[in-house]
Amino acid sequence: MVFAQMGAFLSGLFDPVLAPLLKLSPFFAILIVSFVIAIVSSYVYKWVTDQSLMKRLKGELKEMQAEMKTLRNEPEKMMEVQKRMMDTNMKYMMQSFKPTFITFIPLILIFAWLAAHMAYEPIMPGDQFSVTAMLENSIGQNITLETPVGLTIVSDATQKVNAEEVTWTLQGDSGEYDMAFLIDGKRYTKNVLITEERAYVPVQDVVSDGTVVSLTTNHDKVIANPLPFWNGWLATYIILSIIFSIGIRKALKIV
C-alpha cells in the first residue's frame, strides 16, 4: 500500500514532464535528466553561494597549504596554520552546503521516479518470466502458486520445498495481477505488472515472518550504458552528471 501510494504520488508529480523520456532508450533518457539536473544545480549553486567569498577562501586555503610545506620542521607553527586552515575550510564547506539544502529533496524524488522506471526492464505481454519465493524452516512442505485469469503458470503450480528458494515460470496478457502463495496454512500475495510501457511495480516484497523471507518478480536489469560494469541507471547518472557538472561549472566560472 505504501509503495502504491508513493508510486502514485511520484507519477502525478513527474509524469507530466518526464513521461516522454520513457519513449527513449534508458541511456538517452538518463543523459537528458542528468544534463538538466546539472544545469539547474549549477545555477542554484552560483546564485545561493557567495562566489566572491568562496574564491577568497579557496585562495587562502591554497596559501596555507603552501605555507604548511615550509613548516615541516616547526610543528607548533604548523599546528597553528592547520587550525586556521580548518576554520577556513569549515567556512568554505558551509557555503557549499547551502545549495544542497535546496536541491536535496527534489533530487531524491527524481531519483525515486527514475528507480521506478529505469532500474528494470518491463515484463512484456506473452513473454515468460519467473517469480521466486525465498523461504525458511519450510523444507519438505508444499507451496502452491495461484494466479488470476490472464496470468498462466507454465511450470508446476504446486512444488515441494527442497531448498530455500522455489521458482515458478509464468506468462500473461497486459495488466496488473495479484499472485497468491499458499504454504503452511498461510496465504501471501505479490503483484506483478505486465505491460509494453517502461513500468513495473516493486520487484520484491520482504515478509520475514519465519516462513517466507521474500517474494520476488525476476526482471532483467536495465543496461543503460555499454560498460561491462557500472552500467545501471544510477551509475550512468553519476558518470554523466560528473562530466556535465565539470563542464557547466567551468563555463559559468563557478568556484
Separation CA 43–CA 146 (nearest Å):
54
**Which helix (DSSP H) or strand (DSSP E) does residue 44 occupy?**
helix 26-48
Instruction: Note the Cα 99 to chain centre separation in Å.
Output: 21
Question: For 39-95, what is each residue's pLDDT tens digit?
Answer: 999 999 999 988 899 899 989 889 988 888 888 788 888 888 889 889 998 988 888
Which residues 6+ apart lie within 8 Å of 88 measured at CB?
A: 57, 60, 61, 64
* Domain boundaries along the sequence of the chain: 2-119+229-252, 129-218
Percent above pLDDT 90 for the chain? 63
Pick from 82-86, 113-117, 183-187 the range whose average pLDDT is largest: 183-187
Q: Which of 122, 221, 118, 215 is CA-nearest to residue 175?
A: 122
pLDDT of 2 strictly over 50: no
Separation CA 119–CA 4 (nearest Å):
17
pLDDT of the residue at 68: 83
What are the DSSP calls for 96-112, one per residue?
HHHHHHHHHHHHHHHHH
**Which helix (DSSP H) or strand (DSSP E) does residue 167 occupy?**
strand 165-172
Helix (H, G, I), strand (E, B) or coil at 193: strand
Tell me if the domain spanning 129-218 has CATH number 2.60.40: yes
Which residues 6+ apart lie within 8 Å of 26 measured at CB?
A: 118, 222, 223, 224, 233, 236
pLDDT of 4 strictly over 70: no
Residue 51 carries which side chain, given as an amino acid letter?
A: Q
pLDDT of 5 strictly over 60: no
pLDDT of the residue at 78: 84
DSSP symbol at 69: H
pLDDT of 182 strictly over 90: yes
Give me the residue label for grid cell 525458511.
Answer: 136
